[in-house]
Chain A
Amino acid sequence: MSVIVLVEHTGGVIKKKNFEAVQYASQIAKKAGTTVTALVLGTVTETEMEGLGQYGAQKVLHIADARLDEFHARAYSSALVAAAEKETAKIIVTLHDIGGRMVAPRVAVQLKAGLVAGALSYPDTEKGFVIKKAVFSGKAFAYVNILSDTKVIMLMPNTFPATKQEGKAVVERLDISFSEKDFVVKVKSVNKVTGEVSLADAELVVSGGRGMKGPENWGILEDLAKELGAATACSRPVADSHWRPHHEHVGQTGGTVRPNLYIAVGISGAIQHLAGVNGSKTIVVINKDPEAPFFKAANYGVVGDAMEVLPRLTAAVRKFKEQHK
């Protein structure tokens, strides 16, 4: 009757958001009086897997099949279903990220399980199995009750911080026979933007809008991002005018980010832009127009010219880092 959590990794390294999922699952298990089993797929060291014990996993089921080193939505789904069945798990946790969204819904229909995509709370079991999620692009929240016996929860990354404790998980090998169908989609090539912080996972984001005036001015914005260790983003017209690459476009029709800090520079704060960033914990707006709507959604505001404010802010961050070495 355990809780099962899918743990993805990048070339054998497990990322922070997966620890969040493990710890989330372990809290649910604790409350239900059961244990957590993490499912790990592909080539990962024993130490890395045992480390999941520090976030509350008692056990790791490891399917070592090297074909799983590449992401295969169907194979991952088959593996998760097999692991859930083996553990007679009634609660399945994944992240609400790209991988989770290509796997969990498939698992849910296979198990006839109700699913909450983008969970923002622990299940409230007073009146059923009720989980909070954002709807209408952050303009409201819904409390969703899962009615089925088996439940699938896709946790929104960066919602509950993971804190390390003592613990070591027991790793157990699981062998399942995949069908040929599980690997029909072939990965032809992978093109990773190296050296930069991936936007979807970034804890700090510096974003620029039309107020930056042109691509030639992005250097000062990138300087700030570099100093902070932040990812860079932009508004839609900026991407549409090819000032910045398309993957940086956030908002209703672009990406969604939920960083701890979102610094918006020269962005007016149109509702379609806010839709992609309003999950950010802290928002700083830099805009020369005190009437810009973005100020209404911000925690901190600077009314000023980006060209002057950005270099000053970068210098201030540098100074702060010197002092806090």
Chain B
Amino acid sequence: MKILVCISQVPDTSTKIVLKNNNTSVSSDGVTYVLNPYDEWYALIRAIELKESGIATEIHLITVGKADVEPVMRKALALGGDEAIRIDAESSDAYETAGYIAAYAAQVGYDLILCGKESIDYNNGTTGTMLAGLLDMDYIGFATDIQIESGAALVKREIEGGEETDTCNLPLVISCQKGVAEARIPNMRGIMAARTRPLKVIVPSKITAVTEILTYELPPAKAGIKLVSPDDMDGLVALLHTEARVI
């Protein structure tokens, strides 16, 4: 069984967002880039576990990005995976990203494609669903547990106010979130091995994005907090009723 794990690079969660060029772009000065947590902690680690338990035979990692994403891909390879693929493109929306990944995946043929629930930069959570659509594959989103047995997946996923268990024959696209696996840190052996694992660069044929970001805006600063004495909870309730109008 061959698994493809989709990996995006995102600013570290503690990054302060700074806008530039008249608010038309986000500054990357001083920003540390990391593996998108959902891709790393859940999708990639689960793929590695499936290989460790002999269910998967090969794991490929794929990213769409320019050369500056390679360090993050090396970090991913240090955790595990047989080869990494970088599609050399700066995509401007999920439609483009999914298009590039789908074109590559269609050529190779994967039994299972894992991605994260969403990337924490643009918070779309749409790439996985799009991939499944483009590849005419089935899709299970928001997985919290993935078991594979004799060519079929048994997947727990979040639903509103609970959980559902689905079954589906492979091939399948699954988006992963908390529960699917436990985070790991790469060990020295992995880091050494990653150096020799191939990182293929593919030049895609151009896909035209269907959206563009015109400008960005930072949220307005909160207009001063009102402190309420711990002895005056009636006062707090009154404020929540008359001023905030939430109760």
Contact = CB atoms under 8 A, between A and B. Distances in A.
B58 interface: no
B17 interface: yes
Contacts of A305: 230
Contacts of B95: 108-109, 114-115
Q: Which size bracket describes the interface of B in this complex?
A: 35 or more
A315 B139 CA distance: 47
Given A106-B129, A185-B168, A302 B227 contact: yes
B68 interface: no
Interface stretch (A43-51, A59-67, A164-172, A186-194): A186-194
Interface in B211-245: 211-219, 222, 225-231, 233-234, 236-241, 244
Given A77-B133, A135-B121, A260-B246, A98 B210 contact: no
Contacts of A82: none
Contact of A188 (B98, B144, B165): B165
Contacts of B216: 135, 140-143
A300 B168 contact: no
Contacts of B178: 246, 249, 253-254
Q: At the interface, is chain A mostly helix, strand, loop or mixed?
A: mixed
Interface in B121-179: 121-130, 132-134, 136, 138-142, 144, 154, 158-169, 178-179
Interface stretch (A20-28, A83-91, A211-219, A316-324): A316-324
A147 interface: yes
Contacts of B209: 114, 147
Contacts of A141: 216-219
Contacts of B239: 300
Nearest to B18: A140
Interface stretch (B7-15, B45-53, B75-83): B7-15
A252 B230 contact: no
A149 B43 CA distance: 34
A297 interface: yes
B70 interface: no
A101 B125 contact: yes
A282 B132 contact: no
B247 interface: yes
Given A97-B160, A320-B241, A140 B124 contact: no
B211 A145 contact: yes
Given A140-B17, A146-B210, A114 B93 contact: yes
A275 B13 contact: yes
Contacts of A132: 217
16 contacts: A73-B138, A73-B140, A97-B160, A101-B142, A106-B132, A109-B130, A114-B209, A136-B120, A139-B218, A143-B216, A148-B210, A190-B162, A271-B14, A300-B226, A302-B230, A319-B237
Shortest Cβ-Cβ A-B pairs, 9 listed: A304-B230, A198-B161, A114-B210, A105-B129, A106-B133, A192-B162, A316-B233, A105-B126, A261-B246
